Amino acid sequence: MTFFYRPLTARSPGDAHRASTPLELLFDLVSVIAIAAAAVGLHHGIAEAHTAEAVITFLMAFFAIWWAWMNFTWFSSAYDNDDGLFRLLTMLIMAGSLVMAAGIGSLFKSGDLTMVVVGYVVMRLGMVALWVRAARHDLQRRATAITYALGISLVQVFWVALLLFQPLEPVFVYGAFVLGAALELAVPAIAERKAATTWHRHHIIERYGLLTIIVLGETLLAGAMSLQQVASGMTDIAFVHIALSSLVIVFSMWWLYFSREEHLQTNDLNRALTWGYGHFVIFAAGAAVGAGFAVLVDVIAGHAKVSLLVGDYAVGIPVAIYMLGLWFVRDRFCLNGSAKFVLPVFALLVLLAPLTPVALEGIAAVTALSVVVRNYMVRS
């Protein structure tokens, strides 16, 4: 019986060798499916010349994926006791993620929110059950756990109400989404001020690093798609340029993220919220780069309704946003002097590169150069 049910007490934030568990890695694997579905929707939306609508829908879908992942990640960092009930509730959350992933295609095609909202609410109710368990066993942080459980539950009422009022004009849906997202973001900011949970700093840094690798995988996949065109008999050398550029860019983005400077230096709540929430920009931009490369493949293959310049900017804009995201959550805190401004400067250069004759290759070169310059200036 102790295997199935044990008290869900707080873990020590100073645990040695606190690494991701197999269950957390399985959770990441399920999240990959949803992230890939959102990236595919963005890719096709841009290729079909519905860029604004596709970007907004992508941000909505990605927020739902990221927020559910983030909430579970921070909770498990503080409370994972790996008993049978914890595993089953986590698997319930994973099931909701799969339902949500299945509905992302319909969200992009027709704006149908049904499966996305249903899957999301299932995920969030699984989190409510976990917080109720924490409230029962962690007396020192009971007020925090209850605030989480009540806050999450109330926001789910909002999402269900939004679903029941469908169909609505897109402008009302977008406005309701912004309000709902703000309510979701407010719950941890309020709850953690009662008594901070005992999340493990190094464990959280590792978890975020793993999701960064996952979103960067979307670019590798797009590069492989380009080479598939060559393997199928397409002779345009541009496909090789796309594949090589995707490798240079994804390797450079990886290098920028996994620098020697530690991402989260303290357990300060305000700093943790800035770092944790700010990663939405990094994760979404990382996935969007892969969608941009997929758009370029369609443009060269003649399957897109947009120009090559649009395809280049579909890569360049998210690369620049990724750099700015890293500056926002890390570099402005841990670097000094001119080194602090390397990434904003190179983000601007990335945005200018598509206007030059080298275009995509220019984006790749600037991104790689940002790694070299940043490393040099940090150590000089």
Which helix (H) or strand (E) segment holds residue 122: the answer is helix 114-137
Count Cβ atoms below 10 Å from residue 186 Cβ, excluding itself.
12
Q: What pTM value is reported for the model?
A: 0.94
Within 13 A of 103's CA, how many CA atoms are on the CB side? 21
Counting runs of H as helices and runs of E as strands, what totals does the chain give?
13, 0
- Which comes out higher in pLDDT, residue 235 or 194? 194
- pLDDT at residue 179 is higher than 90: yes
Tell me 358's DSSP state.
T
Phi then psi dihedrals of residue 225, to 5 deg: -60, -40
Q: C-alpha angle with apex 93: 3 to 140, nearest 5 degrees?
A: 60
Report residue 313's pLDDT band, with 50, 70 and 90 as the boundaries.
Answer: very high
- pLDDT at residue 255 is higher than 80: yes
Amino acid 17: pLDDT: 81
- Three-class SS state of 4: coil
pLDDT digits (tens, 9 = 90+) for 143-174: 999 999 999 999 999 999 999 988 888 889 99
Report residue 201's pLDDT band, with 50, 70 and 90 as the boundaries.
Answer: very high
Angular region, 234: left φ>0, alpha ψ -120 to 50, beta rest:
beta
- pLDDT at residue 267 is higher than 60: yes
| CB 149 within 8 Å of CB 132 | yes
Amino acid 99: pLDDT: 94
Amino acid 224: pLDDT: 87
- pLDDT at residue 5 is higher than 80: no
- pLDDT at residue 322 is higher than 60: yes
What is the mean predicted confidence (pLDDT) over 47-57?
95
pLDDT digits (tens, 9 = 90+) for 344-369: 999 999 999 999 999 999 999 999 99
Q: Tell me what the pLDDT averaged over the chain comes to.
A: 93
Burial class (CB in 10 A: 0-12, 13-18, 19+), 138: buried
- pLDDT at residue 126 is higher than 70: yes
pLDDT digits (tens, 9 = 90+) for 78-87: 998 988 999 9
Q: Using CA atoms, how far apart are residues 200 and 204, in angstroms rounded to an integer?
A: 6
Burial 77-98 (b: 16+ CB within 10 A, else e): bbbbbebebbbebbebbbebbe
What is the mean predicted confidence (pLDDT) over 215-224?
90
Report the percentage of the chain scoring pLDDT > 90: 77
Q: Which domains does the chain have, with CATH numbers?
A: 22-191 (no CATH), 201-379 (1.20.1410)
Amino acid 1: pLDDT: 57
Report residue 184's pLDDT band, with 50, 70 and 90 as the boundaries.
Answer: very high
pLDDT digits (tens, 9 = 90+) for 93-117: 999 999 999 999 999 998 889 999 9
Residue appearing with tokens 């917080």: 131
| CB 378 within 8 Å of CB 261 | yes
pLDDT digits (tens, 9 = 90+) for 277-310: 999 999 999 999 999 999 999 999 888 999 999 9
